[in-house]
Amino acid sequence: MAVVTDEVGRRSETSSAVDTSGVTGPHTDQPVVHRGVPLAEATAVVVLLHGRGATPHGMFGLADQFDADGVASLAPAAAARSWYPYAFTAPLADNQPHLDSALALVDATVSAAAEAVGSDRVVLVGFSQGACLAAEYVARNPTRYGGVVVLSGGLIGPSDTAFEYEGSLARDAEGTDATPVLLGCSDDDPHVPLRRVHETRDVLAGLGADVDERIYEGMGHGVVEDEIVAARGIVTAVAEGANE
């Protein structure tokens, strides 16, 4: 099992030029860290969303394993290392204003990436709290993304949430050229109910995504090699497709 940690060399990392001036609330003025080629030279951009108690640098350890040429990585940092204070299945109001502030920071980061390479070359990768943000963000802002990787997370809200969203994660209303989504989780994750994983699968598929749900027996709360290989395939396909 590969665990996302902060034990990684911080090579070639800089504060990015992402405009976060529109972000208000708890995550105001939080940095977005950049690694890899300059955005102006990138063929694809990976937006990395870390989990509770972590920082962007732990997610770079995961991104290093994607090993694709021409890729830039952008990783926003949560204030106090937490995107929102309570469980992602808590009432939405309990996690405000942190949740809206977090989604605004994600939006600023994704918008900068899309401006550089186009939304269809942007891959969102999140773990734990970051996975929940990734799923929630793309559901609220559907378009054709390069890919979405949701590792041990799901859509945000209590058990009675209706999860009603509008728009499409495909190229058009007919579902052509759908956004690939990897949804990986354990069958016994102590933080993520399996039912929520299935709900997230159904909602994103209903928005036109091509969802690959992978449930791992007894994995707990972490990341396994099979998920890394699948995520690498998504990132590589985007990066190489841009050069065809």
> Cβ-count burial of 6 within 10 angstroms (0-12 exposed, 13-18 middle, 19+ buried)?
middle
Question: Among 11-25, 48-62, 104-118, 162-176, where is mean pLDDT lowest?
Answer: 11-25
Flag whether pLDDT at 55 surpasses 80: yes
User: What superfamily does domain 21-241 belong to in CATH?
Assistant: Alpha/Beta hydrolase fold, catalytic domain (3.40.50.1820)
The structural domains of the chain, with segments of one domain joined by +, span 21-241
pLDDT, tens digit (0-9, with 9 covering 90-100), for 163-188: 999 999 998 766 679 999 999 999 99
Sign of the dihedral defined by the CA atoms of residues 170, 172, 175, 177, in that order: negative
Structure tokens at 180: 């690939």
3-state SS class at 2: strand
pLDDT, tens digit (0-9, with 9 covering 90-100), for 4-47: 333 334 445 676 679 999 999 999 999 999 999 999 999 999 99
3-state SS class at 211: strand
Sign of the dihedral defined by the CA atoms of residues 166, 211, 127, 203, in that order: positive
Q: Do residues 197 and 185 lie in contact, with contact meaning Cβ atoms separated by under 8 Å?
A: yes
